[in-house]
Structure 1
């Protein structure tokens, strides 16, 4: 049975790299993102193996009305970092904006998937967390870190509740060289300074995270409820 993988936040970065990985395996991919131009570029690259839809995962109505026909696997990758906000300036509105996408969005998509999914012998969900869920995130990103910690807790709960039919795991990337880093590492020597704090002495790549996601989706039949760091030894 051909697998069909729904990937949220798939217009660029880790999501797009994951789409490439599952298509290379022979699976079909459904790409969701809020950017139509990014999806158009992804569709042009991946061809007939992919179909796309503009879906805001935090919009319950949009998720409920989306086409999940034939979906067998899910990668909850959509997420936002949010603006850097000092702890003294953190407010409920900022926290809610992060959680609406990173946590509530994951919940809505997972519920829709669980209701619509096609049976498949390797049915699985991969949630994209972050090592920020363990270390709290960098200065000014407490809301992001809290949302990623919530994803870790939800992953373990989902794994228990969906077993044995659907395996559920999460990845916790460290600093990965994706477009979002361009908005953070703006100083000329910023990337070198970041690399100094990573035992592997470099940032990770989206492809490296994607390979781990692909493994969890298809080649880890007795792995569920796990949080796997992809962080080059960084904590």
Structure 2
């Protein structure tokens, strides 16, 4: 049984991932600023943590077999409307937060039974697709993709590093974009599979990437976008 660390595991994709990992884990540590929808206890431990603050990070178990960094931003504005502070905040949360997370857990990442440990980060479909109103978040997530490939090379064969690049996933971050049936229908129509993504979709892929079942996958950015990035239906 494995130990896992999930940053941002008290809501959205992270919360769903914790629910998938906990039944078969020794322990799942969750770092987030508040408990939100998480129910700590048993194999799930919540540790208060603001990854962007200068405070010391929580103590970690002696070894961790998998780690996922789930915090992110959805800051959709025209380039003209974006301030330097917008770019700075997206950079802090998406890239520098991930760097701080990985600096902390990297020395503790150790595989079991000959399998490497595994790390999962999150990008966005907008890095590869070039979407309007995404300049700030796409710039930050593009840096995340570079980090994934560099670390995958540097940490192989001991640790696998991959990222998931979702399109719109129905989480609290995008509530205003899916706030009416009409908005939801219009958004779903953009995808070849005619629906928006769910936290369960993203968590299932993250769980797969953290498991030995994906043991020959590293340095990859996997699209999770209902076909948007590759299909023209």
Asked if Structure 1 and Structure 2 have the same fold, meaning a TM-score greater than 0.5 normalized by the shorter chain, the answer is yes
Distance 1:178 1:8 in 2: 16
1:80 Cα deviation after fit: 2.0
Segments of 4+ in structure 1 off by > 6 A? none
Unaligned runs of 5+ in 1: none
Would the aligned equivalents of 2:110 and 2:158 in 1 still touch at CA under 8 Å?
A: no
Whether 2:228 is the aligned partner of 1:229: answer no
CA distance, structure 2, for counterparts of residue 136 and residue 69 of structure 1: 40
| Counterpart Cα distance in 1 of 2:168 and 2:81 | 25
> Structure 1 227/201 Cα, relative in aligned 2: closer, same or farther at 3 Å?
same
Query: What are the Cα deviations for residues 51-82 of structure 1, in whole angstroms up to 9, with x where unaligned?
Result: 0112111224333xx11123221101111223
Q: CA deviation at 1:22?
A: 1.0
Answering whether residue 156 of structure 2 is matched by residue 157 of structure 1, we say no
Larger % of helix: which?
A: 1
Q: TM-score, normalised by structure 1?
A: 0.89
Tell me the alpha carbon deviations over residues 119-176 of structure 1, each in whole angstroms, 9 at most, x when there is no partner.
Answer: 5334000111111222244x43311111111111111111001101000011111111
Q: Which residue of 2 aligns with 1:33?
A: 32
Q: Provide closer, same or farther for how the CA distance between residues 188 and 202 of structure 1 changes in structure 2, counting only shifts above 3 A.
A: closer
Corresponding residue of 1:134: 128
TM value normalised by structure 2: 0.90
Answer yes or no: is the 8 Å Cα contact 1:172–1:229 preserved in 2: yes
Unaligned ranges ≥5, structure 2: none
1:61 aligned counterpart, secondary structure: coil
Give aligned pairs, total: 225
| Aligned position for 2:175 | 182
Aligned partners of 1:172, 1:27: CA distance in 2, in Å? Answer: 28
Contact 1:136 1:146 in 2 (8 A): no
Which residue of structure 2 lines up, in the alignment, with residue 24 of structure 1? 23
Q: In the aligned structure 2, how far is the partner of 1:51 from the partner of 1:177?
A: 25
Partners of 2:118 and 2:146 in 1: CA distance? 17
Q: Is the 8 A contact 2:127 2:139 kept in 1?
A: yes
Q: Secondary structure at the match of 2:177?
A: coil
